[in-house]
Amino acid sequence: MIRTALLLTLAVALATPALAEDFGVSAPEVAGRASVDEGRFSLALTTFSRSGQAQRVVKGEVVRRTPTALTLRYEVEAAGERGFIDALLLRPAPVVRVTETATLRARAGGWEGTVAGVAQRWVRQGALEGDTVVLVVPGLSTNLWNQYGVPYLDENLAALRARGLEARRLAVNTEESIAVNAAVIAREVRTEVARGKRVVLLAHSKGGADTITALADPTNRDLLPHVRGLMAIQPVYGGSPIADLVGGSCAIQGTVDLFFERALPRINRVDDVGSRDAVRDLRSETRQALLRRHPYPAAEVPTVVLRSSFSGRSTFKPRHVLRKPLFVFQKFLEKTQGVASDGMVSLEWQRVPGAAAEITLQDMDHFEPGFRGESPHSPCKVTNLIVDRMAAVLAD
């Protein structure tokens, strides 16, 4: 009797199709999504480069699956043999379909290996999907960049969406004070909560200070259960030495105040009104006083921080025009204060106490997480690193 029941249970289990599994896919220059269901798999990859984006889809069958390995079989296009006539007429080689097999190895709750010529990781990111939306908070004065064609955070957003995540950039006035922007962020989170969503925030630079201030504000405590986490890239947590330098001179501070209050509104293509507090709020004394008054609730908001520094020689023709002033600032801070920095914020002041995880990169200046420059760390790579770590934190 017992044996019969066991056999029936086994038969039912074998007849029941396996549940579909979805994964975010990451590689240094690739973001994508993979799905495994009923012995089949599909893989959608977006490759990022300076010249743009390229998409490809690979589909096939799961040949074998064990707790430690996943073997896939699929077809890809490849160049066939080029005949004499083809060479004579300068015709390209014919395209043929080739069957390949790949074996991924289990790693950290996901898979890792090479498929279709791309070394990649498959990461379970269920906690970031479904009812969750990623809100992207830009840094200081970057509205202006996008208006004039600088692709700031564009690749980051595309990488998030390539992984199958719902994501949008917040339309905050990046020339405004931290208090004003924190209120905007809180309002946007409430909007998502009202439509049944939970929120993960991805914030860069001053956007990190704006977001941290919004989450630390006691009047927003009701939002914390709806915030799944914060991914902070080079956040101005403890202040900026460059803001301190500006504040140490009445002449320099006055010039910066006039620039934000009068010059930016004239050249901006939208009706943003600049505020002198946009930079004043980033002074270390101001930031740290606010954090003492309203500590960041790291215990209630899972937080992953990505910090960076850079050093070395200035390039003759940098890929982005801000590299030279950042190089000057970085060398000044290194020589006068002995601190490592990304050219705007010291490595130490990018740290968020109580964060669940921290990633530290070298050879990346303050703006390169959002668009490509000299750094080997592309916006796609930065996005994959911090999303993979956040997925792991939430899974734990």
Domain match, 92 and 107 both: yes
Cβ 45 vs Cβ 25: under 8 Å: yes
Domain match, 295 and 174 both: yes
The residue type found at 277 is D
The domain boundary residue, chosen from 123, 150, 185: 123
11, part of any domain:
no
53, part of any domain:
yes
pLDDT tens-digit map of 374-390:
999 999 999 999 999 99
H or E segment at 251?
helix 250-258
The residue type found at 47 is T
Distance CA 48, CA 54 (A): 7
Domain match, 202 and 296 both: yes
Distance CA 260, CA 257 (A): 5
The residue type found at 395 is A
Domain match, 94 and 165 both: no
The domain boundary residue, chosen from 69, 96, 123: 123
The domain boundary residue, chosen from 123, 157, 185: 123
Report the pLDDT value the prediction gives residue 179, as an integer from 0 to 100.
96
9, part of any domain:
no
Domain match, 213 and 136 both: yes
Residues contacting residue 384 through CB under 8 Å, at least 6 positions apart: 26, 27, 28, 31, 159, 163
Report the pLDDT value the prediction gives residue 119, as an integer from 0 to 100.
97
Domain match, 352 and 368 both: yes
Report the pLDDT value the prediction gives residue 7, as an integer from 0 to 100.
47
Mark residue 330 as left, alpha or beta (left: phi above 0; alpha: psi -120 to 50; beta: remaining): alpha
273, part of any domain:
yes
Classify burial at 282, counting beta carbons within 10 Å of its beta carbon; exposed 0-12, middle 13-18, buried 19 or more.
Answer: buried
Report the pLDDT value the prediction gives residue 11, as an integer from 0 to 100.
44
Report the pLDDT value the prediction gives residue 109, as an integer from 0 to 100.
81
Report the pLDDT value the prediction gives residue 67, as an integer from 0 to 100.
94
Domain match, 41 and 169 both: no
4, part of any domain:
no
Its sign, for the CA torsion 138, 140, 144, 150, is: negative
Report the pLDDT value the prediction gives residue 42, as an integer from 0 to 100.
97
Residues contacting residue 126 through CB under 8 Å, at least 6 positions apart: 22, 395
Domain match, 116 and 265 both: no
Report the pLDDT value the prediction gives residue 253, as an integer from 0 to 100.
86
Among 165, 249, 175, residue whose Cα is nearest residue 207: 175
Domain match, 177 and 251 both: yes
Distance CA 203, CA 210 (A): 9
End-to-end distance of the chain based on CA atoms, in angstroms?
41
Cβ 313 vs Cβ 331: under 8 Å: no
Domain encompassing residue 290: 126-395
Distance CA 252, CA 260 (A): 12
Domain match, 78 and 119 both: yes
Domain match, 146 and 90 both: no
7, part of any domain:
no
Q: Show the DSSP H helices in 75-225 as ranges.
A: 84-88, 143-147, 154-162, 178-194, 206-216
118, part of any domain:
yes
Which stretches of the chain drop beneath a pLDDT of 50?
Answer: 2, 5-17
Report the pLDDT value the prediction gives residue 388, as an integer from 0 to 100.
97
Number of domains the chain contains:
2
How many Cβ atoms sit within 10 Å of the Cβ of residue 208?
A: 27
Distance CA 264, CA 272 (A): 8
Look up the CATH number of the domain holding residue 383.
3.40.50.1820
Domain match, 237 and 342 both: yes
Among 130, 127, 153, 128, residue whose Cα is nearest residue 140: 153
pLDDT tens-digit map of 91-124:
676 777 889 999 999 998 899 999 999 999 999 9
Report the pLDDT value the prediction gives residue 160, as an integer from 0 to 100.
98
